[in-house]
Amino acid sequence: MITVYRLLAFGLFLLIWWTVSLIVGPNLIPTPLNTVFAARDLLRDGKILEPLLSSLAVYSTGYALAVLVGIPIGMLMGGIRDLGRTLDIYVNALMATPRVAFIPLIILFLGLGAEAKIAVVFLGAVIPILIGTYSGILNSDAELIEMARSLGASRSQIYWRIMLPGALAFVVIGLRIGATIGLINTVVAELYTAASGLGGLLALYGNTFQMARYFVVILALSLIGGLVSQGLRALEAWSSRWRVTAGN
Q: Domain limits of the chain?
A: 30-247
CATH assignment of 30-247, given 1.20.1250.20, 2.60.40.10, 3.40.605.10, 1.10.3720.10?
Answer: 1.10.3720.10
pTM over 0.75: yes
Q: What is the mean pLDDT of residues 102-130?
A: 87
Of residues 90 and 154, more confidently modeled: 90
CA distance 20 to 3: 26
Q: What is the pLDDT of residues 152-210, one digit of tens each?
A: 666 666 777 777 777 788 888 899 899 999 998 888 888 877 677 888 888 888 888 88
| Other beta carbons within 10 Å of 231 | 13
What length does the chain have? Answer: 248
CA distance 106 to 79: 31
- The predicted structure's pLDDT at residue 241: 61
Q: What is the pLDDT of residues 125-144, one digit of tens each?
A: 999 999 988 888 887 766 67
Q: What is the pLDDT of residues 219-241, one digit of tens each?
A: 898 888 888 888 887 777 776 66
Q: What is the mean pLDDT of residues 50-62?
A: 90
